[in-house]
Structure 1
Amino acid sequence: MKTMHTTYQPGTETETQAWEAVNRVVFPLSDQDLVLPLYAIEWTRPHLTDDVFNPRLDMESMQFGSMNGKAVRHLLNESIERHADTAASDVFTVDSRHAMTVLSGRHVSLCTFFNAFPASYWKRWTNISSVRFSAKVHGKGEIALYKSSGRGLFSALDTIRVDTTRDDAAAAGALSGNAAPDDAAPGSAAQAGFSDDANPAGFETVETVLPMSGLIDGGYFWFDAKASNDSTLQFEDAQWSVPRRENMAASGGSSDTGTAKSTGSANTTLSIAITTFNRAKYCLRQLQTIAHEPALVARLDTIYCTDQGTDLVRDLPGFEQTAQELGSQLTYLRQTNMGGSAGFSRGMYETLKAGTSSYTLLLDDDAISEPEAILRAVQFADYAKQPTIVGGGMLHLDNRTVLYTQGERFDAASVWMKPSQGLDYNHDFARFPLRDSPERHRRIDSDFNGWWMCLIPTAIMKEIGLSMPFFIKFDDTEYALRAAEHGYRTVCLPGVAVWHQAWHDKDPSRTWEWYFFQRNRWICGLLHCPKPSRRLAYEMLYSDINVGLKLVYSALHLQHMGLRDILRGPQYILDSMPGKMAEVRQERQSFDDTTLIADVDELPAPAREFTILGTPTTSKAIKKSGLKAIVKALTSRGSGVKDVRPDVAVPADQAIWRSFVGVNSALVTSPDGSTAAWCKRDSALFRRQLREGLRMSRTLLKHWDQLSREYREADIASVDAWGKVFKEQTITD
């Protein structure tokens, strides 16, 4: 197989440089109609809005009152989504996991979430100075390479013209006994006398080396492929490679390198920690996905599957076969249900005890993985300047092209999270492709990554310990903040993600999870916000008022229960973890809002139909009406405790405070739409709970310094502390 085109930028690498592929261009083999825009799209003419070219426009507010018809039309035109006019199947075909055919006269862009190379992240967090692009090609057309900037502007780097049709014709002539044509290109397959057996598909290699410059603020590398009008263009094994000599893990620079495989490979290895509770089918699917990816299995030490449920993964048809395929690379563990933090900590604990892995990948049982993303996370960690937590984004399981988030920040004042760079949550790459979303080309730095998928170096675990014994919620946030305080950053790497169930069908305030949500939030504050702000006191009060206005009095009770438990100290948090969920569930049972009805005909019909109140208004007006609602709730004598029928039925998406103003009882649909609860106003109870919340909050803030010191000095997240828990809670049978 010959090299058809090679470009070396002055001052970069030599032809003898050893390279390692770290981003292989991949395509989906299933669910293509749902996920393909994340991998490849039809090329369309670029369109960028004025603010990309003139950042001063971001400083100016819109003066809608002075806009004429022409200005309105211009504004609407700027907001029109640019879609390809043809179906993907009319533009290209996916031939295999690593191969594509661009149909004649068609043009494809690989500036997509999974196939653009996140060059700015490699520039910022590694020592890489250049990147090599290579691919095997066949047919006629061109491969064009591009680079974007942090502003989302992009420019052409190189154009590689492809034409193997002459070589194909010459090879066909040679096979039929004809000599190679006199004008055959020197070094071509015809001149070299390559036979069809030596190069059966007629593919040739193209490659080019690109310098890592102009990437401080952000930017990607990618390629577009265009077929000529009279031929298709095929490419396969396209990949982005980096110099092996800059691998920090191989030199002992960025992570504890685990024991090499028996093949003698110097590659690092990883263990994968999966914890599951009665999601057996999902968990088995995750195990099967990993087992069927040879490149991933080659880097794998062990999957630690910690089953904390009663519907056991091992009892499913297909588990035995998967277990046999993985062999010693699967360790199946059982322990009592102590939540995700205990399940993930068990995998981290076992990894440290085994002492052979450089990393532990925390992976949700009910997520759908892109195996290439796991390899990318490992290899990025190998090249990082220092041990680095590598996280992946979360794509929606029910809207597969929607990215929930790629990086979040922690706001110490409110002890809450927010998206990095002010970007919105829930970006749909089918509607707004990466190439035409300039804000997505800026490098997004993060404080933490959700544990739907997160790679943690062994070196970090050895130094800072395991997860806090939180059961669920805020364990991922706290761990990353703790790592940062020890000098270790978290990088949420584009092109790395899993599909996970989105949050829009969940409302923790209406479940037992609210206890852990609020308790762990304030413990996280004690650990990482040593000086409480006025905003923190406001947030505590707001949490009480918000759920109280929605008539969810069980949530108020759980919040105060969490505050009381915090005051008991860190050792209580650890010791109570195994039985705390059962206690929490029992505590909330006496409240009306916890009685869930699957068939609403079991209840009296609501007195009236729900209608959305009011029209859109200003933020100032909304705050004013919110304050009026609070005052009304605090002074009201209204009660729905003895109501014989609900005032109104409130749909799940409208279960916000304004829907309950003037309502004494409401039938409220759960976020997943499977049940409803009859929530009843109890003004006297609300006032008592609010007073209790204020008292507990004052106590916590009064003793904040002391409690902060106690929690930071406690040994409840250490390997030894967890070891004692696992010894007591492991189930053997």
Structure 2
Amino acid sequence: MAKVSVQRIVFPTDFELPAASREIEPLYFKLAESAEDAIGDRPRVLGRTTIELTQGQTLNTDGYFNRLHAGYWARWTVLDAVEVAVTGTGRARVVIRRSTANAMETTVRVLEGELSETLSASVPLGPSAAGGCLWLEIEALDPVVVVTAAGYWGETNRELDLRTDIAVCTYNRPDDVLSLLKSFQRDEECAKVIDHVWIVDNGEQSFEELPGSQQVIQAFGDSLSHLFQPNLGGSGGFSRGLFEAAYHGDSPSVLLLDDDVVVEPEGLRRSVVFFHLAKRPVVVGGHMLNRAVPTELHSSAEWIDTKKMIWGPAPGGEEAVDLVTERQDEVLDAGFNAWWSCLIPTDAVRKVGLGMPFFIKYDDVEYGYRLLRAGFPTVTLPGFAVWHEPWTLKDDAIDWTNYFHTRNRLVFAALMSAGLPEQIQKKRVAAITQHIILRDILRNVLRRAYATASGAELAMIDFLRGPDALREPLQDTVSRVRAARMGYPDAETGVPNGGNGDRPTTIRRKAPKTKLGIPRAALREFGVPVPKIPLPLPPSMVNKIQADPWRIWERPSKSPEVAELPKNSDHYWGLADVPDAWVATVDGAKTSRRTRQPDLARELMKSGWATSKQVKERFSELCDLYAAEYAELTSPQTWAKQFGIEVDQ
């Protein structure tokens, strides 16, 4: 029987941290309330696996990165039990605690003795199959106790080949790439499982030009490859990484990572161990933590709403979870995992092909469901995570990338619907097109994001072209989409002036309080005259309306003709009083011009509706067309033309 380290108890040091170590300590261990703000009462972290306790102090490892999410290991791996082991100096009491899937807590074992002799016990995983976690409470019984190593071990009769390749897709983020490479090296146990790193560079700014990069490159030696190619987006960058690992690498798996993530190296190591101990071949996905709020879980297990074909949390999952106060006790079933951190079997890559040529958006979703259909389910594993910029700090719902959201969603829906009864196909496409009309066209028309609304229609037009639209060089597609936006006023950007000068900031920053005002404000965008106060109304209601400064029909008598608005006014009701507005982006760095053009608004709605009708009429036909070209579109030979290389696979 081989013994393997399932999970080490680690501390936030010796890798590239996303924030000050004290800020993220709650992800690793809990403190008694009296020690929260008192430096002297806190355990002292001495190293990656080493911590010092004084008499009476307790190290509680019930933190996101240091509790063992036992339910996942019980359900998906060959392990029946784990061995808890704590080593160090001094006398201590170790309490092994367990939670159930519904968060009930119990004590499993209590160990007491000299840590120099290692305190250990075997804990069955069986009762945790539906969920639940294990953690340790280590109390110092001597004046000074030092824990040098603690964790969970497993036994297996398998011959384990604990190696993985890593593929990083990057575009002009050299500093982030160099930080990633340093993190891989600084944690020795993590470095042991990394066989080869493929940096797929879509940009022009190379990390090799940064100070200190040559030492990092030399340390990796032949196990680092830096590949340059045209900007093929995330789908092209990660497909290249999949290709290199599957056909030129020697590892049983490849871990896909975004370039702008901060990795917890122990989580990376755990993903490799989990992969090799799994009962069947699986995809191991990582959680996404919020880099702006580093103790918040931004995205966990995800799946697709098969009615509208949009992604979201899997059943039981949540977004924006406070990891300091909430524990992930329930085992969640994922449909896919985004490619910010996703470990994929290279055998699976050779079986199902590379990603779809989407450029960005839905490539990871489609690939995850393709793998699932081929017998490779995704397990999104708590304790394996990266910190990443949250989607709430991006404007991709109203910029040029919205085209790819819409087009690729339709292609994915067609691929998932091929072979289904026509009645189901019609019901699905009706829900999707209705959602596109309401969210991507009408909503954007009402807030005068005309370029985005037009891009949604262009996406439907390109979907109607069939698979040939996906054979276009990806760079040409991006150029065409961006060029199509330029004739619209909202394509014009500027720099915020803080409400000074000739663009004062208006006061409207929240929605009207009655439903009565909503359709009336919307009508203005189509050139329909709207009175300030709808009549006839009871005097009592008129008085109430006039007393409320937020009512949309109370247009201020001195309302500016041009104004600068904050992002939270980027709605039809926020723009209603201003014919020409400059709306700030979500990060506040730029502004986008929103000029009311009723003729354009009417034309975009009319043409968008007509195009959506064609999508509904031809959907069944297009399902068959896309399905017929599926294998060819994702083959290494087809992708080689985009990569600019020759392949013999």
On whether the aligned pair clears a TM of 0.5, the verdict is yes
* Whole-Å separation in 2 of the counterparts to 1:146 and 1:607: 59
Are positions 1:241 and 2:158 aligned together?
no
Task: Supply the distance in 2 between the matched residues of 1:114 and 1:577 (Cα, whole angstroms).
Answer: 39
Which residue is 1:115 aligned to? 66
Unaligned runs of 5+ in 2: 419-424, 531-558
Aligned positions, number: 604
Instruction: Name the residue aligned to 1:598.
Output: 495
SS at match of 1:399: coil
2:209 to 309, 312, 315: 315
- State the one-letter code of the partner of 1:370: E
Cα distance in 2 for partners of 1:668, 1:483 equals: 41
Alignment TM-score, normalising by the size of structure 2: 0.88
Deviations 1:319-367 (A, max 9, x none): 2221111000001111010101111111111112225110111011111
Q: 1:206 aligns with which of 119, 123, 131?
A: 119
- Which of 370, 394, 398 matches 1:506? 394
Query: Is 1:695–2:610 an aligned residue pair?
Result: yes
Task: State the match for 2:546 in structure 1.
Answer: none
8 Å CA contact retained: 2:640, 2:646: no
Among 12, 22, 25, which residue is 1:36 paired with?
25
User: How does 1:622-633 map onto structure 2 within 5 Å?
Assistant: 626=518, 629-630=521-522, 633=525
CA distance in 1, matches of 2:147, 2:498: 59
Show the counterpart of 1:720.
637
Q: In structure 1, what is the Cα distance between the partners aligned to 2:501 and 2:448?
A: 19
Shift of 1:527: 1.4
Which of 401, 404, 407 is 1:519 aligned to?
A: 407
Deviation (angstroms), 1:87 = 3.9
Task: Give the drift of 1:150.
Answer: 0.7
Aligned to 1:389: 283
| Whole-Å separation in 1 of the counterparts to 2:28 and 2:184 | 20
| Equivalence for 2:181 | 287
3-state secondary structure, aligned to 1:575:
coil
CA-CA distance at 1:628 after TM superposition: 5.2
**Hey, what does 2:554 align to over in structure 1?**
none
1:342-491 paired onto structure 2 within 5 Å:
342-430=236-324, 432-434=325-327, 440-491=328-379
Partner AA of 2:635 in structure 1: S
CA root-mean-square deviation: 2.4
2:11 corresponds, among 27, 41, 44, to: 27
Farther off after superposition, 97-106 or 371-380: 97-106
Q: For the residues of structure 1 that align with 2:94 and 2:47, how far apart are their CA atoms?
A: 19
Cα 1:594/1:87, change in 2 over 3 Å: farther
Counterparts of 2:165 and 2:143 in 1: how far apart (Å)? 46
Shift of 1:652: 1.5
- Give secondary structure in 1 for the equivalent of 2:472: helix
Gaps of 5+ in 1: 1-16, 45-82, 165-202, 251-265, 435-439, 639-643
| Structure 1 residues 583 and 128: alpha-carbon distance in aligned structure 2, compared to 1, 3 A threshold | same
Cα distance, 1:446 vs structure 2: 1.0
1:405 is matched by which residue type in structure 2? S
Q: CA deviation at 1:601?
A: 7.4
Q: Secondary structure at the match of 1:97?
A: coil
Larger Rg: 1 or 2?
A: 1
Distance in structure 2 (CA, Å) of the matches to 1:356 and 1:310: 29
1:192-203 equivalences in 2 (<5 Å): 203=116
**What are the equivalent positions in structure 2 for 1:268-283 lying under 5 Å apart?**
268-283=162-177
CA contact (8 A) 1:35 1:400 kept: yes
Aligned amino acid, residue 322 of structure 1? V
Distance in 2 between residues matched to 1:625 and 1:137, nearest whole Å:
68
Give the equivalent residue in structure 2 for 1:67: none
Corresponding residue for residue 148 of structure 1: 99
Answer yes or no: is the 8 Å Cα contact 1:120–1:217 preserved in 2. Answer: yes
SS, match of residue 600 in structure 1: coil
Residue 45 of structure 2 aligns with which residue?
A: 94
Q: Deviations over 1:592-617 (max 9, x none)?
A: 212211252798534662233467x6
Percent identical pairs in the alignment equals 27
Shift of 1:267: 1.5
CA distance in 1, matches of 2:55, 2:583: 56
8 A Cα contact 2:444 2:452, kept in partner: yes
Using a 3 Å threshold, how does the CA distance of structure 1 residues 327 and 538 change in structure 2: closer, same or farther?
same
Paired residues of 1:514 and 1:558 also in contact (CA < 8 A): yes
State whether residues 304 and 332 of structure 1, in contact with CA within 8 Å, keep that contact through their aligned partners in structure 2: yes
Judged with a 3 Å threshold, the aligned counterparts in structure 2 of structure 1 residues 345 and 328 are, in CA distance, closer, same or farther, namely: same
Aligned: 1:137 with 2:49 = no
Work out whether residues 610 and 648 of structure 1, in 8 Å CA contact, stay in contact via their aligned partners in 2. no
Query: 8 Å contact 2:341–2:386 — kept in the other structure?
Result: yes
Post-superposition CA distance 1:46-70 (Å, at most 9, x none): xxxxxxxxxxxxxxxxxxxxxxxxx
Give the deviation of 1:669 after TM superposition: 0.6
Indicate the SS of the match to 1:362. strand
| Structure 1 residue aligned with 2:131 | 218
Kept in 2, the 8 Å contact 1:509–1:552? The answer is no
Paired amino acid for 1:505: L
Q: 1:328, 1:215 → 2: CA distance?
A: 43
- Structure 1 residue 724: Cα displacement: 3.0
Equivalent pair of 2:400/2:482 in contact (CA under 8 Å):
yes
* Structure 1 position 699, deviation (Å): 0.9
Aligned partners of 1:131 and 1:242 also within 8 Å: yes
Deviation, 1:634, is 4.3
Q: Distance in 2 between matches of 1:389 and 1:626?
A: 46
C-alpha separation in 2, matches of 1:610 and 1:602: 11
The question of whether the paired residues in 2 share the 8 Å contact of 1:138 and 1:235 is answered with yes
Q: Contact 1:25–1:98 (CA<8 Å) still a contact in 2?
A: yes
Which amino acid in the other structure matches residue 357 of structure 2? P
Q: Secondary structure at the match of 2:196?
A: strand
Amino acid at match of 2:281: P
Change (3 A) 1:727 1:614: closer
Contact 2:70 2:129 (8 Å CA) reproduced:
no
Number of the residue aligned with 2:619: 704
Aligned partner of 1:296 in structure 2 is 190
The letter for the 2-side match of 1:588 is R
**Structure 1 residues 544 and 84 mapped into 2: Cα distance closer, same or farther (>3 Å)?**
farther
Letter aligned with residue 101 of structure 1: E
The CA deviation at 1:398 is 1.7
SS at match of 2:432: helix
Q: In 2 relative to 1, CA 521–538 (structure 1 residues): closer, same or farther, beyond 3 Å?
A: same
